[in-house]
Structure 1
Amino acid sequence: MFASKAKEWRKHPAISPWTNFKACFTGFGTALALFTGYVVLEQAYFYFYKPPSSHQNPPESKTEELGS
């Protein structure tokens, strides 16, 4: 009974290595979730609505149109 009270300080959040590790990366989990959601939505958009490729038929240069 006495030993459990004596070792209780080791479970305190200020001393926990995991808490100290998480404090180094404040907001990283939220940022990672938002970035992952953005990438997934962007890929879904490009899958369903394929934008026309601008590299297949490049436009003529302006100098050729003007005859210079």
Structure 2
Amino acid sequence: MRLITTLCALLALTIGVFQLERERVGIPRTNTFVGSTPVSVYGTGPGPAVVIAHGFAGSRQLMEG
């Protein structure tokens, strides 16, 4: 029973990661700096810029996913 639970959890994790990552496919991303602050610019289409600022370590990875 424990093996089945573990396999189901791994399957759910794999499906979840796949669904999150496939949303980024085809969206160009440029990493740069504004002063000493690292920024990521997504997309190239016309439209207003959206700024998301967060100050905790590792937050960039959380905000992307």
TM-score range, shorter chain: 0.3 to 0.5
Structure 1 length-normalised TM: 0.38
Q: By percentage of residues, which structure has more helix?
A: 1
Q: Scaled by the length of structure 2, what TM-score is found? A: 0.39
- The structure whose Rg is larger is 1
